[in-house]
C-alpha cells in the first residue's frame, strides 16, 4: 500500500510539474492549441511524426488573423511570430532582449561542441562573434575561392563518370559541399565525391541523422533539464571530432599555414590574443556593462570548426539540390540560367573564378527563389533574455520564453510573394525585387547581429557548385522523381527530404 501511494504521489508531482505553465498564454489572451502533459503542443514533434518547421507552418495557417501564436515545447512557453514588424523588433530593434537562441536547455552545462557561434548565447556568443567576424571579409573569401574551384571541377568530373543513371542530387551536392568544407575548413582532401566510404561524409551524415536515442536524449533534456543536464547529444562523434582538429592544429604547429582555410583563419584569430568585450549579461552597480575576457582555447577552436563543418555542408547541399530539382521541372528557366553561365564563363576563358560567380545574377536569383520556397532552415529561434513588452500587442513575456520565426510559412505566404507556389527567379532580379515588402519576411540567412556569419561564403560555394553542374549538364526528372518531395519529419533545424532528390544529369553538347 505504501509503495502504491508513493508511486501515485510521484506520478501526480511529475504531472503537475509538466503542466505548471499551461495557462501562460491563456492568461495573456494569446491563441494557442491545447497542450498535453509532457509534450505541450509539440507531441507530433517529440514522436518524430512532424518536423518543427511543419509544426510552425501548421500553426501559421491555422491562426491567419493573429500577429503571434502561443506554443508549448513540453512545458516551456514559446511564441510563433507572424508579423514582420514584430520580427524586426526581435532580430534588430530590440535585439538586446532577444540575443539568445536558447538551444542549450541547461545554461550552465553545455556540451563542448555546442560552445560554438551558432549554439552559444550571451557573453560567449558575443566574444566569439567579435573575434570571428573579420574572418569572413570579401578579401578572405576571395583568397579561399581557389579551393572552391578545385572541388567544383571535381564535381563536374565525378558527375560525368556516374551520370548514366539517376543520381540523388542531395547526396551528390552533399559530397561536393563536404569536400569543400574539408578543404576550406580543415585543409584536408576528403574526396567524398570519389570515395563512397569517405569518413568525412559518414561524419556529416551522422550529425544530421537523428537516431531514436538522440531524440529521447533531446526530449529528456528539454522536459527535465536539471535531471538530464549531463546527458550528451553529440557524444557519438565528439571525441573523434576534437581529436581530428587537435591533430591538424599540431601539424600546423598552432600557426597559420598559408592555406587560407578556416583553421588558418581561426589560428589568426587566436594569435590576436585575449578577446575583450562589454558584457551583454552582467552589469555593474552603476548600470554600465562589465568587461568580459576570454582566450580561444583548443576546445573552443574545435567547436567552431564543428559548426563550420555541420552548418556549412548541410544547409548548402539542401539549398543547391532543391534548386536543381526546381530547374529540372522548369527547363525554360534552366535554359536561361545556362545561357547566362555560358556568356559569363566565356569572358573568363571558361574557368570558374570569384569575379565570374559575382556576375551570375540570374543563377543567384534562381538559387534565392529555391531558398524562398524551401529554406534550409525552416524557422529561426530566439529566447527572451529578460522581461519584455511588445507595444503592438500590449503583451509582456518573461525571461526564458522561446521565439519561433516560421520562415517556411512566411516565404510561401501570398501576402508577401505573388503566386508563391510558382518557381519564378525573376522576383529576385534587381528590376523586380521589392526589398521593403520582404525585408523581415525573406530571411534564409537570418538577420541582425545573429544573422549567419557565413552567409556570403555559403552563397559563394553554392553558386560555384551549381555553376559547375549546369555549365556541363542539363538536369531532368528521373523516372522515380517526385514533383513534390516529402519532407523528412525527423528534420530538426535543417530540413531534408525523404528518399532524396533523384535526377538525371545529361551532358550538354554546346554548338
The pLDDT value recorded for residue 388 is 97
- In the CATH scheme, what architecture does the domain 47-507 have? Orthogonal Bundle (1.10)
Alpha carbon of residue 87 to chain centroid: 18
* Residue 174 three-state SS: helix
Annotated binding site, which residues?
Answer: 452
Predicted pLDDT at 228 = 55
DSSP state string for 201-267: HHHHHHHH---HHHHHHHHHHHHSTTTSTT--SSHHHHHHHHHHHHHHHHHTTTS--SS-SHHHHHH
Which pLDDT score, from 0 to 100, does residue 438 have? 80
How high is the pLDDT of residue 485?
Answer: 92
CB distance 300 to 115 below 8 Å: yes
Could you list the residues known to form a binding site for heme, using ranges. 452
**pLDDT confidence of residue 284:** 87
Note whether 102 and 77 are within 8 A (CB): no
Q: What pLDDT score was predicted for residue 282?
A: 86
Strand partners, 242: none
Residue extents of the structural domains in the chain: 47-507
pLDDT for residue 46? 82
Residue with cell 552589469: 283
Residue 306: what pLDDT?
82
One digit per residue, the tens of pLDDT, for the chain of length 511 reads 667 777 677 777 777 777 889 999 999 999 999 999 988 999 898 888 899 999 999 999 999 999 999 999 988 999 999 999 999 999 999 999 999 998 876 566 677 788 888 888 989 999 888 888 877 788 878 888 888 888 888 888 888 888 878 999 998 898 888 888 777 777 777 666 666 666 666 666 666 566 666 666 666 666 666 565 555 555 566 777 778 788 888 888 888 887 777 788 888 888 888 888 988 888 888 888 899 888 888 888 888 888 877 777 678 889 999 999 999 999 999 999 999 999 999 999 999 999 999 999 999 999 999 999 999 999 999 999 999 999 999 999 999 999 999 999 999 999 999 999 999 999 999 877 776 778 899 999 999 999 988 888 889 989 999 999 999 999 999 999 999 998 888 877 788 888 889 999 999 986 5
Q: What is the sign, positive or negative, of the torsion defined by CA atoms of 195, 199, 205, 209?
A: positive
Q: How many Cβ atoms sit within 10 Å of the Cβ of residue 459? A: 21
Other CB atoms within a 10 A radius of the CB of residue 439 amount to 14
Q: How far apart, in whole angstroms, are the C-alpha atoms of residue 85 and residue 441?
A: 10
Phi-psi region of 277 (alpha: psi -120 to 50; beta: other; left: phi over 0): beta
Confidence (pLDDT) at 38: 84
Helix, strand, coil tally for the chain in percent (to 5): 50, 10, 35
Which pLDDT value is given to residue 402?
96
Amino acid at each position: 500500500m505504501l509503495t502504491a501511494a508513493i508511486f501515485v504521489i510521484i506520478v501526480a508531482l511529475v504531472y503537475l510539474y509538466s503542466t505548471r505553465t499551461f495557462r501562460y498564454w491563456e492568461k495573456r489572451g494569446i491563441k494557442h492549441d491545447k497542450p498535453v502533459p509532457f509534450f505541450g503542443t509539440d507531441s507530433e514533434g517529440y514522436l518524430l511524426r512532424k518536423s518543427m518547421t511543419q509544426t510552425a507552418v501548421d500553426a501559421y495557417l491555422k491562426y491567419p488573423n493573429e500577429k503571434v501564436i502561443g506554443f508549448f515545447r513540453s512545458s516551456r512557453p514559446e511564441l510563433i511570430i507572424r508579423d514582420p514588424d514584430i520580427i524586426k523588433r526581435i532580430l534588430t530593434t530590440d535585439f538586446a532582449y532577444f540575443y539568445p537562441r536558447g538551444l542549450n536547455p541547461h545554461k550552465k552545462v553545455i556540451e563542448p561542441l555546442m560552445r560554438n557561434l551558432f549554439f552559444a548565447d550571451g557573453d560567449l556568443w558575443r566574444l566569439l562573434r567579435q573575434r570571428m567576424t573579420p574572418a569572413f571579409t570579401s578579401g578572405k573569401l576571395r583568397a579561399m575561392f581557389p579551393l572552391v574551384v578545385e572541388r567544383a571541377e571535381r564535381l563536374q568530373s565525378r558527375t560525368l563518370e556516374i551520370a548514366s543513371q539517376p543520381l540523388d542530387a542531395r547526396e551528390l551536392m552533399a559530397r561536393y559541399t563536404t569536400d569543400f568544407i574539408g578543404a576550406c575548413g580543415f585543409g584536408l582532401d576528403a574526396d567524398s565525391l570519389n570515395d563512397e566510404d569517405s569518413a568525412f561524409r559518414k561524419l556529416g551524415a551522422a550529425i544530421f541523422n537523428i537516431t531514436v536515442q538522440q531524440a529521447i536524449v533531446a526530449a529528456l533534456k528539454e522536459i527535465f533539464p536539471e535531471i538530464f543536464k549531463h546527458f550528451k547529444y553529440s557524444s557519438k562523434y565528439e571525441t573523434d571530432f576534437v581529436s581530428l582538429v587537435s591533430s591538424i592544429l599540431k601539424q600546423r604547429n598552432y600557426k597559420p599555414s598559408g592555406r587560407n582555410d578556416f583553421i588558418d583563419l581561426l589560428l589568426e584569430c587566436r594569435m590576436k590574443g585575449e578577446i575583450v568585450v562589454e558584457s551583454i549579461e552582467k552589469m555593474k552597480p552603476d548600470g554600465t556593462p562589465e568587461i568580459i575576457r576570454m582566450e580561444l582555447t583548443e576546445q573552443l577552436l574545435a567547436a567552431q570548426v564543428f559548426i563550420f563543418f555541420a552548418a556549412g555542408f548541410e544547409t548548402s547541399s539542401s539549398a543547391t539540390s532543391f534548386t536543381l530539382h526546381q530547374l529540372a521541372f522548369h527547363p525554360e528557366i534552366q535554359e536561361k540560367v545556362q545561357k547566362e553561365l555560358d556568356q559569363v564563363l566565356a569572358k573568363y576563358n571558361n574557368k570558374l573564378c570569384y569575379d565570374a560567380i559575382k556576375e551570375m545574377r540570374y543563377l543567384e536569383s534562381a538559387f534565392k527563389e529555391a531558398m524562398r520556397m524551401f529554406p534550409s532552415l525552416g524557422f529561426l529561434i530566439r529566447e527572451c533574455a529578460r522581461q519584455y513588452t511588445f507595444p503592438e500587442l500590449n503583451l509582456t513575456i518573461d525571461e526564458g520564453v522561446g521565439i519561433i520565426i516560421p520562415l517556411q510559412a512566411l516565404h510561401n505566404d501570398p501576402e508577401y510573394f505573388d503566386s508563391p507556389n510558382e518557381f519564378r527567379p525573376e522576383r529576385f532580379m534587381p528590376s523586380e525585387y521589392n526589398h521593403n515588402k520582404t525585408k523581415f519576411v525573406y530571411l534564409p540567412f537570418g538577420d541582425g547581429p545573429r544573422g549567419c556569419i557565413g552567409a556570403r561564403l555559403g552563397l559563394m560555394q553554392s553558386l560555384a557548385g551549381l555553376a559547375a553542374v549546369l555549365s556541363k549538364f542539363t538536369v531532368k526528372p528521373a523516372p522515380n522523381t517526385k514533383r513534390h518531395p516529402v519532407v523528412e519529419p525527423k528534420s530538426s533545424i535543417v530540413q531534408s527530404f525523404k528518399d532524396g532528390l533523384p535526377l538525371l544529369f545529361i551532358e550538354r553538347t554546346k554548338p
